[in-house]
Chain A
Amino acid sequence: MTWLKLVEGYMPMQMISELAGSILVFALVNWALNRAGMGIPKFWAGVGVWIYIQLYLKYRIYPPIPFSVRAIYGTVSGCGIFMWVSGSEGEWQEFKRPILNVMDGISGFHKGMRTAALIVIPLALGGFAYSSFLPSFEEPIELRTVHPAPPATTKVHGRTFVLQVVENPYRVNNDGKYDQAFTDARIVEQAMGRLMKDVNDPNYNPWDPNAEGYIKYVREGGEIFFQNCHFCHGDNLNGRGLWAYAFNPIPANFTDAGTIAQLQETFVFWRVSKGGIGLPGEGFPWASVMPPWEQHLTVDEIWKVVMFEYWHTGYYPRTWD
């Protein structure tokens, strides 16, 4: 569907509202048809809605959700529809009447349907069993912890950092004091586009020739980012860089509310410094291509690039309390 895109970061909300919206439309259509005296039989309405939900989940959602998850959704929506069709004794009778009619073969047409069902059901289930018994070699699912617990301290370039107390030395106000409120006021806007607040104000535009202090350090961090990190994390820090397609695990999407927005700045400092190889076992250190940046950058450069990531995405680092 090119005319209605899935918006990044809003996927679950969008899915739920689209589904709810279409069910509402179905209900209205059903009501209108009933009023016009052309009501759809309850049985077919129920089956139709259930198939619609299955098709929606299979073809609308991207990346595709696995069969097992769709099976869960199928069961839940099946239960919901069952509750709807069995709301009263009359409705329940109406729902099951077509099934009973076929079982009893009340007319020539129903007899034909019964014969067809008797043949199709065993064949379909037998075929399903065959395809599930056929050895298939799907990718094994390996669950990886994306944000494992950090250590208490980390040693970078010979200096030991206690993650609970260390502060980003560049997150400072005009007096050179650590000041998160000051810097939080100068990050990009959290509206669509995540743009800087004022391009003509040296307090907000890192590229302004008069930019000083925090906002100048943001530019320096950005320079490092665009010389080192964007190949994987992307020009918009959304994990869709030039070579992201080649790697698994995929690069982190910093614009997602579930990555740096959830983390303390010192956690990010540790992850950046030690890279994939520095992860504990549950983070799959053998598979990540994230460099241990201490091999490429100084401590100061790492602090600056971390600060740039918060500035560019418009997120605040989480505090320890």
Chain B
Amino acid sequence: MSKSRYGINVARLGVCLSLSVLLGLGLPLSSGAQEDLPEGFKQQGLPAPLPAEQIEAGKRVYFTKCVWCHGVEGAGDGPGAVRLWPRPRNFNAGTFKIRHTASGQLPLIDLDLLQTVTHGLPGSAMPSWEGILTEQQRKDVLAFVTSQLVQDRSWQDEEFEEFFVLELDQLAPKEGTPESIKRGSELVVEKKCIECHGLEGRGDGNAFNLKDDWGFSIQPADWHKCWNFRGSRQDPYNVKNIFRTFSTGLNGTPMPSFADNTSVDERWDIANYVNSLCEREQEIKAPQGTVTDEIALTFSTSQPLGIDPLTDKPKSNFVVPSKFVEGDLPTDEHDERWNLIPRRWIAMGGQITHKPRNFVNRIDDMWVRALYNETHIEFMFRWDDRTKSIQEDEVDWDPTEVNLEDYGVEEQAPQGTTFEEDPFHQESIAAKQKDGYAVYNDGVAFQFPIKWQELPAPRKPRYFWGDERFAADITKWTADGTLGVYEGTGWDEDFTEVDFQEEVEVVKAEWANGQWTVIVKRPLKGDYDEVAYLEQGKYIPMVFFAWDGHNGDVGRKMAVSAFYYLVMEPPIPMSTYIYPGLITVGIVIIEGWVLGRRANRRKAKGHA
């Protein structure tokens, strides 16, 4: 599948040479050369060299802002690099992922690279520099990077470089109709996209065998999180971005360009399908990637999630609503009653407060729904995880133990091993290869304060497993089948088992096509002093935790959320209907009185 960076150049050596000669002479291109371009591309000449003053001005920008991650020589090895995944770009070889140019070619400086610096690369540490650097400063720094730090290639190299540019602005996007989406879903199978991106597009196919040009592990994109697409340009639901990536490929990665073996029309269909998979207000499932007419229609009509322009992620809402249902709680995820409540997006970040910190966090969000009846509450957690991880060997520690440093669970050192030096070092799993390290259990957990009713607002037990004064009630499930309820009294204090284990139940735990579905049921009430006593209509603080076993997550190495509030919504009281009725009637009376007075006054005036 993977195409070498120079694959196209080699394949078209003859044409390239003749084109370069023609360009060098400034002659118009012959129609013969045009025919060889992939559909939707046009050839463009080499850019002029950038002035020395601009390069010098860019050096000042680079050494203030960029050097910290990209390094003095631009080799992507600044002080920040070792603890980052994805790694900062190594500029030296001139290999750039997001481009309008054909596979293997250099990017357009004033379009591709400027957009990257302007909008950042979501899902990586590269931020948007708009509003921080002026446009001139952004252009200056690109002049420095492209002329001084890209060493192996040059934009002015007439012999080896050429630019086939995707004419994205000239191509009108095909409308995302159900037919187009359905055809796209068939094309991703035909074009073998699913081999890496997985049947349902969660990036779970071949997820741990891929490497980039520098030997670092790289993972296929999860199509359900378009806001993390590197090329999303702060406009994640725009199908043009997907079309561009699909047409030009991502240089330096196993993602090839499909320009040669797909028509523009097919590419729009695929882009429409990939775009439709990105999570929306409504949860839509196409099991095994099979899109029926009905599913295609739902895809094409559902609303995108609101994106927060300050974070470029979906907007957060810190209230997790739960609705009352009659009778037994659902036994699986297909129960219609889950649709009574909106699913809530839980943002998750790496645990970087206490050792061992998790600098490379793989679970960056989770979806939660909750339903309750007279006696129990049920939570459905769904989160994307490219691998199902179940620890094969017996663990040496007890489920209640939290200090695992003694067992060799450590955080990534700041000046760590490189992949070449030590591919099997377990500290920096992110950039490593398959089977080189211990795999721990995937898992999910949530905590409530014990006796939250007595907390002096806004005091809570600390988000990290409670504290000395206020204990936390922690429900934790791990993929080996363990479900426990524990009392936590601090980040470094071992859990205490609570006599509640028999009461809680895993209703369902299934990993399929890159997604976990875990449904956990627990009683609303237990021993008041030992477990959270859940009540209707109250704000009950809640924190979520998740572990990805293939990422080396275990113990405190995990993903963690902020405080959310569980609210078990009570039935609507009668007063909601009575008072507005009274108010309406009252206003009608006042209106009559005002108009009557006015009419009387006019009458009196008229008589006088």
Residues in A lying within 8 Å of B, measured CB to CB: 5, 7-8, 62-63, 103-104, 114, 118, 121-123, 125-127, 129-130, 133-135, 137-140, 142, 188, 192-196, 198-199, 205-207, 222-223, 225-228, 230-232, 234-236, 238, 240-248, 275-277, 281, 284-287, 289-291, 295-296, 312
Contacts and interface: CB of A to CB of B under 8 A. Distances in A.
A234 B127 contact: yes
B552 interface: no
Given A122-B588, A193-B137, A235-B65, A243 B80 contact: no
Nearest to A236: B132
Given A125-B583, A290-B353, A291-B353, A240 B80 contact: no
Nearest to A248: B562
Interface in B272-329: 308-313, 316-319, 321
Contacts of B308: 245
A134 B578 CA distance: 11
B538 to A, nearest CB: 10
Nearest to A194: B64
Interface of A is mostly: loop
A195 B64 contact: yes
Contacts of A289: 349, 352-353, 463, 560, 562
Given A246-B349, A286-B460, A236 B127 contact: yes
Nearest to A133: B576
Q: Residue among B131, B308, B414, B459 with the most chain A CB within 10 A?
A: B131
Contacts of B537: 135
Contact of B579 (A118, A127, A129, A195): A129
B318 A139 contact: yes
A209 B312 CA distance: 38
A101 to B, nearest CB: 12
B571 to A, nearest CB: 9
- Which interface residue of A7, A63, A188, A240 has the most chain B CB atoms within 10 A? A240
Contacts of B563: 248, 287
B60 interface: yes
B467 interface: yes
Given A139-B317, A193-B137, A240 B310 contact: yes
A243 B583 contact: no
Interface stretch (B33-41, B66-74, B250-258): B66-74
B418 interface: no
A243 B349 contact: yes
A179 to B, nearest CB: 23
Interface residues of B, number: 88
27 contacts: A5-B130, A8-B131, A62-B310, A104-B602, A126-B583, A126-B584, A133-B580, A137-B565, A193-B64, A195-B137, A196-B64, A198-B60, A199-B59, A222-B68, A225-B68, A227-B414, A235-B126, A240-B311, A244-B311, A245-B349, A246-B347, A246-B348, A277-B353, A289-B352, A289-B562, A290-B353, A296-B355
A139 B319 CA distance: 6
Contacts of B446: none
A79 to B, nearest CB: 23
Nearest to B579: A133
B349 A247 contact: yes
B591 A137 contact: no
Nearest to B359: A231
Given A137-B539, A246-B561, 13 more contacts: A122-B584, A122-B588, A138-B319, A139-B319, A193-B133, A226-B69, A227-B82, A242-B124, A242-B349, A246-B562, A277-B353, A281-B459, A291-B353
B369 interface: no
Contact of B127 (A130, A137, A195, A235): A235
Interface of B: 56, 59-61, 63-65, 67-69, 72, 78-80, 82-83, 124-127, 129-134, 137, 308-313, 316-319, 321, 347-350, 352-355, 357, 359, 361, 364, 414, 457-463, 467, 470, 537, 539, 560-563, 565, 567, 569-570, 572-573, 575-577, 579-581, 583-585, 587-588, 591, 594-595, 598, 602
Contacts of B349: 231-232, 242-247, 289
Q: Identify the interface centre among B60, B312, B316: most chain A CB within 10 Å of its CB.
A: B60
B459 A222 contact: no
Contacts of B588: 118, 122
B79 A227 contact: yes
Contacts of A114: 595
A126 B577 CA distance: 10
Contacts of A195: 60-61, 64-65, 137
Nearest to A139: B318
Contacts of A118: 588, 591
Contacts of A140: 458, 539, 565
Contacts of A240: 127, 310-311
Contacts of B587: 121-122, 125-126
Contacts of A295: 354-355
A243 B569 CA distance: 31
Most chain A CB atoms below 10 A, which of B80, B317, B470, B567: B80
Contacts of A121: 587, 591
A42 B500 CA distance: 71
A296 B357 CA distance: 10
B462 A291 contact: no
Contacts of A290: 353
Contacts of A243: 349-350, 352, 361, 364
Given A121-B591, A139-B318, A291 B354 contact: yes
Contacts of A122: 584-585, 587-588, 591
Nearest to A143: B458
Contacts of B414: 227-228
Given A104-B602, A129-B580, A194-B64, A275 B137 contact: no
